[in-house]
Amino acid sequence: MTGDQRAVIVAARRTAVAPRGGALARLQADELAAPVLRRLLDDAGIAADRIDNVILGNALYGGGNPARLAALRAGLSPSIPALTLDTQCCSGLDAIVMAARLVGAGAADCVLAGGMESFSRAPVRMHRSQVPGEPPVAYDRPAFAPPPFADPDLAQAAALLAADRGLSRQAQADFAVASHRKAVAALAFLKTRLITDGGGLPDADSFTRNLSRATALRAPILAGPQETGLSAATIACEADGAAAVLVLSQRAFAGFGGPGLEILAAGSAGGDPEAPALAPVAAGRRLMKAANVAPSDLAATEIMEAYAVQAMVNAGDLAIEPSGLNGMGGGLARGHPIGASGAILAVNLFDRMLSRENAAAAARSRGMALIAAAGGLASGMVVEAVFKQAG
């Protein structure tokens, strides 16, 4: 983003994340997102009538436009447009990328963007039969790539990657244990950042726990061979949740009193549908080059942990410092609300880089968020902490 229309994230919030059928099971996706949108306006002290657009990612809805439902539930004016975006796991981060592009094009000054997902309330999917009189046929997921491309089960693709890279079941378990350990350490901080909206909703990610290596190794293998297989401990569980950020143009940020994350580069990339977990590597390299940032310049990096092996390979291939990776835990420790997961990465990046405790050390520091999606897609952004208004 260049010139007067550079995009800056000035507020970031999310709900707790709960496994499918858990504490958030009674809420549909737009009901999860609405309180997040309301709270962002309160946090930033910005009037609702200044919002130009609402963009929310979602992967499992059955039609309609749940972003519009969320915006209206949040009390925004009916005159404010809303768009639902579906790029599967990339959806929540792609919504933020789209917001940044609207701002960069001069088409908006103030955009609410993020993602939402309810595995618990997702509709049952069925194909109509092509034969008259025969009943519809249920299916678990749509196709992510057409013939002649391969369209592997994502867990099987990740298992093949683990075997190819020689990443043992023990190494993956250790990565999952570390993710939970970091998430447990961040629980107290996160309780001040999560939207509970009353009603007995959780004030912590309910899947986070003190996971031991022994327990992780006892988890049954779900994909791949014994030596490098993926288990219930090293695959993120299906989950419910929502997250969003408030994106301002540089001119709007000039009148804003707080700090922000300036988006230096943001975008999406495509890769081999047969190896979707590798797509973030090319995306990350492209984004760092565009932002003139080296891996060693990154104070904080958030990479989606849909599978332990995916995050391990992405971080390794990009030479990301382990000390800066997923500092408050990752998807393995909270779950994977598909349409929201990319936005959760952005919220975590915001909190890690702009928290009051880190302000002195993080001033003008850089960070990156990356996520992969089915079909060989990836999205990401590189940001810089700004504690004083530009200009």
Catalytic one among 110, 180, 237, 336?
336
**How many Cβ atoms from other residues are within 10 Å of residue 276's Cβ?**
27
As to burial, measured by CB atoms within 10 angstroms (0-12 exposed, 13-18 middle, 19+ buried), residue 149 is middle
As to burial, measured by CB atoms within 10 angstroms (0-12 exposed, 13-18 middle, 19+ buried), residue 370 is buried
Please check whether residue 377 is in contact with residue 268, taking contact to mean a CB–CB distance below 8 angstroms: yes
What does the DSSP assignment read for 232-301? TTTBPPBEEEEEEEEEEEHHHHTT--S-EEEEEEEEEEE--TT-GGGHHHHHHHHHHHHHT--GGGEEEE
* Rounded Cα–Cα distance for residues 90 and 106 (Å): 24
* Rounded Cα–Cα distance for residues 299 and 367 (Å): 6
**How many Cβ atoms from other residues are within 10 Å of residue 3's Cβ?**
8
Catalytic one among 89, 90, 110, 237?
89
What does the DSSP assignment read for 175-233? HHHHHHHHHHHTHHHHHTTEE--STT--SS-TT-----HHHHHHSPEEES-TTT-EETT
Please check whether residue 328 is in contact with residue 350, taking contact to mean a CB–CB distance below 8 angstroms: no
As to burial, measured by CB atoms within 10 angstroms (0-12 exposed, 13-18 middle, 19+ buried), residue 279 is buried
Judge if the upstream peptide bond of residue 148 is cis by omega within 30 degrees of 0. yes
In eight-state DSSP terms, residue 5 is G
Residue 90 among the catalytic residues:
no
Residue 336 among the catalytic residues:
yes
Tell me the catalytic residues: 89, 336
